[in-house]
Amino acid sequence: MIQIRTDLAIENREFYQEQNDGEVPGIKVEEEIEENYTITRVRIIDEIGSNHLEKPKGVYITIEVPKLKSADQDLKDEISQVVAKEIKGLGLSNEDTKTLIVGLGNWNVTPDALGPKVVDRVLVTRQYFVAYNKKRDETVANVAKISPGVMGLTGIETGEIVKGIVEKTKPDLVIAVDSLASRRMERVSTTIQISNTGIIPGSGIGNKRTGLNEEYLGVPVVAIGVPTVVDAATMINDTMDLIIGSMRKVARVGTEFYSTLERVSREDRYQLIKEVLEPYMTNVVVTPKEIDLIIDDLSIIIGNGLNMALHHGIELKDVNRYIR
């Protein structure tokens, strides 16, 4: 099986369907289509589905927003509310839940800075609960946050840092935010994935580290991620699709040549491109040139969504007042 780099369960499902001309066994899928976004909920219910999608059993929620790269304030607010609703829908938190939010990634590298940027937007309250020995508040929940950096900056596995904090502070829930990778250019910076299965820091750029999941940390882990990169072969493959389609439309003769190219599967083309690029562009990933603005917008959307999902007294009219 050709391995195409992606962190999105929905794309692993699409890849299986392309290869097998049918639905993945061992999963349940729900789709909700709205004017500005589409939500696809993939639930892996057994080991068969887990093996086919190469993901742990659990729920994977994909929010696709085609206009997210150029979102106005109304769209940002709408998607923040959607994110909050989907997080609440996982049923892992309530007014008494103590939550630790972990911003994964390298704040010095913009495509990898989503986690730390989101953490900057989150309202933290644990210090007040500790100082006043409170168990519950009528407006806010007990929330702490941390940006542990990456192993290249700290010399310590991110998982070890987070595990130490969890053992000391004893949260009921960990929410990890990270940058991901996609196999489709159109999904870069326009898709948000939420899952209840945890995450492997660095997986988006091929760095496999200790997984942050319930088995390792001892508490439930919600993972939130946005694809901010594709690898070079994916970009070239997508570009070839556009070129072939365009040239076929304008060609007066020789259209059979373009039809032949179109019949070659995306996966076969991808493998050929990888082989051609290997001596020159090993492990190259690509990100949009406006990634700085995109990451800022995404951090607002996800940060506000987290604030509304966790703090029972905070609504949309309140979230944009908390700006650092």
AA identity, residue 207: N
Chain CA centroid to CA 111, Å: 12
pLDDT at 313: 92
Give me the pLDDT at residue 319, please.
Answer: 87
Cβ neighbours of residue 318 closer than 8 Å, sequence gap 6 or more: 307
- Quick one: pLDDT at residue 184? 85
Q: Give the C-alpha distances (Å, rounded to integers) separating 227 from 7, 186, 191, 210, 244.
A: 8, 10, 7, 20, 26
Look at residue 1 in the predicted model and tell me its pLDDT.
Answer: 39
Could you tell me the domains of the chain?
9-233+284-319 (3.40.50.1450), 234-277 (no CATH)
| pLDDT score recorded for residue 204 | 47
SS3 267: helix
Q: Which of 181, 290, 192, 179 has its CA nearest to residue 233?
A: 181
Helices and strands in the chain, H and E counts: 13, 9
Return the pLDDT at 251: 66
The H or E element that residue 176 is part of is strand 173-181
The CA-based angle 231-233-236, given to 5 degrees, is 115
Residue pLDDT tens, the chain, 324 long? 345 568 999 999 988 887 888 899 999 999 999 999 999 999 999 999 999 999 999 999 999 999 998 899 999 999 999 999 999 999 999 999 999 999 999 989 889 999 999 999 999 999 999 999 999 998 999 999 999 988 888 889 999 999 999 999 999 999 999 999 988 888 999 999 999 999 976 554 455 567 899 999 999 999 999 999 887 777 677 777 767 777 767 665 566 766 776 677 767 777 777 777 777 666 677 788 899 999 999 999 999 999 999 999 999 988 877 655
C-alpha torsion sign, points 316, 317, 318, 321: positive
- Residues 301 and 65 sit within 8 Å (Cβ to Cβ): no
DSSP E strands: which ranges in 182-268?
A: 191-195, 221-231
DSSP secondary structure string, 18-58? Answer: HHHSSPPTTEEEEEEE-SS-EEEEEEE-SHHHHHHHTS-SE
